[in-house]
Structure 1
Amino acid sequence: MTTIAPTVNGQVIGLAHYAGRAVLESVLALRGTTFSQQITLTRVVGGPVERDALAEEVSGALKTGTAEVQGVVDELIGKGLLAPEASRVGLTDAGRAYCAEVSAETGAISARIYAGIPAEDLAAAGRVLAQVTERANAELAARRS
């Protein structure tokens, strides 16, 4: 049986995104966290960040409002995964342990998902998706101005 590869378009990209996101959300659900919380935490792994800058960055990535992200930050503080430090927030020991666990589990899953796909195909897909993201973000910015 021959498989015909689909042309890359918004539907194909969206289906891949939602398939991967569903896998991630199944990992997060076991830990009582959400996709938005995970995206927020990954932005703090390198060290404490300004809370307002974090809200801006995550809201841009998730295409949501900064007030919503500020609420997510509050949830993470309430869960003991983030700690406020003046105008900054940083991971707690529990937050670092959580991030390490999720990273290890999703890393193993990703290895299975991407196994056998040639590196040059992954590199090409990465370049295409980066360009699509850049152009879509430019379209969205133009519509908002």
Structure 2
Amino acid sequence: MTTATPLLNPRVIALAHYASRALLESVLARHGATFQQSVTLRLVAIAEEPVVRDHLVGGVVGALKIDAAEAQSVVDELIAAKLLAAHEPSRVRITDAGRELYDTTTAGTAPITARIYAGIPTEDLAAAGRVLSLITERADAELATLAK
């Protein structure tokens, strides 16, 4: 008996998201970090210069679909843990400890990600990327109408 491949739908997307997130959270937990902290730290780690705090909060809100107060709280947690530091009056920068955590967790997830994506043709990954990007764009637009 064979099982038909399901069409892409909210459940399929959610199952892939939560399975992937659980793997990431298992790596993060070994280092005392949360998923929210990881997302926030990444936004600063990939920036070429210190980030305006309000822009960072906006990026976290957009990525995690949480309110600004919760995003501010995550930034505060990272500053208290000395993974981020204030830079000028309104900017934050990654600290050496923050960079080490980011690099360590990124390196810890890389082999897992490689195993998961192994053997999937590039054209399939490109098609999935296009479809998921379009779904995200449309969902964000719907969220924006609900917020009005």
- Output the TM-score relative to the length of structure 2: 0.94
Q: Which residue of 1 aligns with 2:139?
A: 136
Candidates 40, 56, 59, aligned match of 2:58: 56
Correspondence 1:118-129 to 2 at 5 A: 118-129=121-132
- Whichever residue aligns with residue 100 of structure 1, its letter is D
Per the TM alignment, residue 3 of structure 1 is displaced from its structure 2 partner at its CA by: 4.3
Q: Distance in 1 between matches of 2:81 and 2:87?
A: 16
Correspondence 1:76-115 to 2 at 5 A: 76-86=78-88, 87-115=90-118
Q: Distance in 1 between matches of 2:3 and 2:42?
A: 36
- Whichever residue aligns with residue 4 of structure 1, its letter is A
Per the TM alignment, residue 2 of structure 1 is displaced from its structure 2 partner at its CA by: 3.7
Residue identity over aligned pairs, in percent, reads 59
Aligned residue pairs total 145
- Output the TM-score relative to the length of structure 1: 0.96
RMSD: 1.0
**Deviation sequence 1:67-114 (CA, Å, 0-9, x none):** 111111110011111011121111101111111111111111100110
5+ residue gaps, structure 1, are none
Q: Which residue of 2 aligns with 1:13?
A: 13
Q: Which residue of 1 aligns with 2:32?
A: 32
